[in-house]
Chain A
Amino acid sequence: MHILDIQNVRKSFGDNEVLKDISLTVDKGEVVSVIGPSGSGKSTFLRCATLLETMDSGTLRYMDEPVATMENGRIVYTKDLKKVRGYFGLVFQNFNLFPHYSVLKNVTDAPIHVQKRPKEEVRAQALELLDAMGLGDKANAYPCQLSGGQKQRVSIVRALAMNPEILFFDEPTSALDPELTGEVLKVIRQLAEQSMTMVIVTHEMAFAHAISDRVIFMDGGVIVEQGTPQELFEGTKKERTRQFLQNYQR
């Protein structure tokens, strides 16, 4: 069983074809990093997988359950999207915490009111997760009282509290000051060690190299190359990949 199985995704915005036949499967416990230049379609791909964008064509399955299928050349989404959304979590570049909720309420509100889980159980889990992320003393703080790194860790906890099968990260450190990226990357590394299934869109090459089982290089709406971090970062056979990585090392 694949956790995520997304095939032949096409997506255009007007005349601009952003995704040209992209496919990806992710298995349990895998950490997949998606790298590539700005405008390569990485984020759009992630947004298609998390149902924030509808694909023009392609198929999508979570836990082998069909979410989007092609019928007579037209894409059809399942009606029960609420259930599907329970399978994944998404950590945004800009955190998107709810400013009027305390840290604890940000984390517990959806598990309680969307998943209808018992209040006490959710609270206990949330406090435990916050503690594990070094935010034990911030449960009653409001997002505006937190640093960027703390906000991003809260948003990771918020996603984890939903008990997702897979966690997506959309450039989780790109909105942070350089000295704050470390604390967020450390937390993601921690999750990798706990065998959390993750897809991470990132510009942090060293980080992608260190924690990924698989790295995907996207450019111009296609997957140019994918492989182990060693294959991609150390022995790429594609000129375009080499170019991109060189620009990063400079």
Chain B
Amino acid sequence: MTFQTMVGELAYAFINTFLIFAFTLLGALPLGLIVYFCKKSRFLPLRWITEVYISVMRGTPLILQIMVIYYVPSLVFEITFPGNWRFYAVVVAFIVNYAAYFAEIYRGGIESIEIGQYEAAQVLGYGKLQTFVKIILPQMVKRTLPAVTNEVITLVKDTSLASAIGTIEMFTKAKQIAVSPRSPGMMTFLVAGVFYYVFNAIVAFVMKRIEKALNYYQ
């Protein structure tokens, strides 16, 4: 296998890496908010369930969570999913895992907002939803952006854990190429590393731009 073929195959597999990354963010960023609200719910059982959920998501390895979500439905409940379950299981695992972290980040951001903001909104007659959407949420986004950036960058690297169940993404591909006959060997992993690094550089750049765009107020 030539160097060019190897890079080409990695690049092609990177599409899946990117898809896992993008779907996870699309799902986990809003789900994190819902988890936060569940944790703050006045309905006690919901609060407990949420506490347990967050604690399990943060307290066990993501690689194990991926395996549980992939294997348990078919092995324990004999449910088989149509389509590319290998891929969807990874996305589901990433979403529920990252939502737990995002929920905690949001909580930190929301709780750091001065009580006076709520009081001003209340006196002006804003409803609860209006207050949250118009007053609290935008300030929370700005305050939590650095922490969210951290998570997003970690997510890029975590996508490689999908290889634990053989989902085809860049890292799985790299492992396959590296052990194939007459492959560039370890060089494959180095190239994969460069892919991750460049992608994260782009992520960091974009997040920095967003942070800057929100710098119009303190």
Q: For residue B138, which residues in chain A have a CB less than 8 angstroms away from its CB?
A: 100
A42 contacts chain B at the CB level, 8 A cutoff = no
Q: A96 touching B119 by the CB < 8 A rule? A: yes
Q: A96 touching B117 by the CB < 8 A rule? A: yes
A115 contacts chain B at the CB level, 8 A cutoff = yes
Complex CA distance for A66 and B15, rounded to whole angstroms: 64
Point out residues on A near B: beta carbons under 8 Å: 50-52, 82, 85-86, 88-90, 92, 94, 96-100, 109-110, 113-115, 142-144, 158, 162
Complex CA distance for A90 and B120, rounded to whole angstroms: 8
Q: Across the two chains, which residue of chain A brings its CB closest to B116?
A: A96
Given contact pairs A94-B114, A100-B142, a sample of 11 additional A-B residue pairs in the complex whose CB atoms are under 8 Å apart: A51-B122, A82-B127, A85-B124, A96-B116, A96-B117, A96-B119, A96-B120, A100-B217, A113-B126, A114-B130, A142-B217
Q: B120 touching A92 by the CB < 8 A rule? A: yes
Q: For residue B125, which residues in chain A have a CB less than 8 angstroms away from its CB?
A: 82, 85-86, 110, 114-115, 162
> What 4 pairs between A and B have smallest CB-CB spacing?
A96-B120, A96-B116, A144-B218, A110-B124
Once A96-B114, A109-B134, A113-B130 are accepted as A-B contacts, the answer to whether A52 and B123 lie under 8 Å apart by CB is yes
- How many chain B residues touch A (CB < 8 A): the figure is 20
CB distance from A60 to the nearest CB of B (A): 15
Complex CA distance for A110 and B131, rounded to whole angstroms: 11
Question: Which secondary structure dominates where chain A touches chain B?
Answer: loop
Q: For residue A143, which residues in chain B have a CB less than 8 angstroms away from its CB?
A: 217
Question: Which secondary structure dominates where chain B touches chain A?
Answer: helix
Once A110-B126, A113-B130 are accepted as A-B contacts, the answer to whether A98 and B135 lie under 8 Å apart by CB is yes
A-B contact pairs, 7 of them (CB 8 A): A52-B123, A90-B123, A94-B114, A97-B120, A98-B120, A110-B124, A144-B218
Complex CA distance for A100 and B117, rounded to whole angstroms: 11
B139 contacts chain A at the CB level, 8 A cutoff = yes
> 1/0 per position for B108-151, CB-CB distance to A under 8 A?
00000010110110111111001000110011001000000000
B77 contacts chain A at the CB level, 8 A cutoff = no
Contact of A92 among B116, B142, B217 (CB under 8 A): B116
Q: For residue B217, which residues in chain A have a CB less than 8 angstroms away from its CB?
A: 99-100, 142-144
Q: A162 touching B119 by the CB < 8 A rule? A: no
Contacts of B76-131 to chain A: CB distance below 8 A: 114, 116-117, 119-120, 122-127, 130
Once A100-B142, A113-B130 are accepted as A-B contacts, the answer to whether A52 and B135 lie under 8 Å apart by CB is no
Once A86-B125, A99-B139, A114-B125 are accepted as A-B contacts, the answer to whether A92 and B119 lie under 8 Å apart by CB is yes
Q: Across the two chains, which residue of chain B brings its CB closest to A90?
A: B123
B43 contacts chain A at the CB level, 8 A cutoff = no
Q: A99 touching B218 by the CB < 8 A rule? A: yes
Q: For residue B139, which residues in chain A have a CB less than 8 angstroms away from its CB?
A: 99-100
CB distance from B166 to the nearest CB of A (A): 46
CB distance from A93 to the nearest CB of B (A): 9
Q: Across the two chains, which residue of chain A brings its CB closest to B115?
A: A96
CB distance from A94 to the nearest CB of B (A): 6
Complex CA distance for A109 and B142, rounded to whole angstroms: 20
Complex CA distance for A181 and B74, rounded to whole angstroms: 71
CB distance from A211 to the nearest CB of B (A): 23
Q: B116 touching A158 by the CB < 8 A rule? A: no
Q: A98 touching B122 by the CB < 8 A rule? A: no
> 1/0 per position for B51-86, CB-CB distance to A under 8 A?
000000000000000000000000000000000000
Q: Across the two chains, which residue of chain A brings its CB closest to B123?
A: A90
Q: B123 touching A89 by the CB < 8 A rule? A: yes
Q: Across the two chains, which residue of chain A brings its CB closest to B126?
A: A114
Among A52, A85, A99, A113, find the residue whose CB has the most chain B CB atoms closer than 10 A: A99
Q: For residue A50, which residues in chain B have a CB less than 8 angstroms away from its CB?
A: 123
Complex CA distance for A98 and B126, rounded to whole angstroms: 13
CB distance from A143 to the nearest CB of B (A): 7
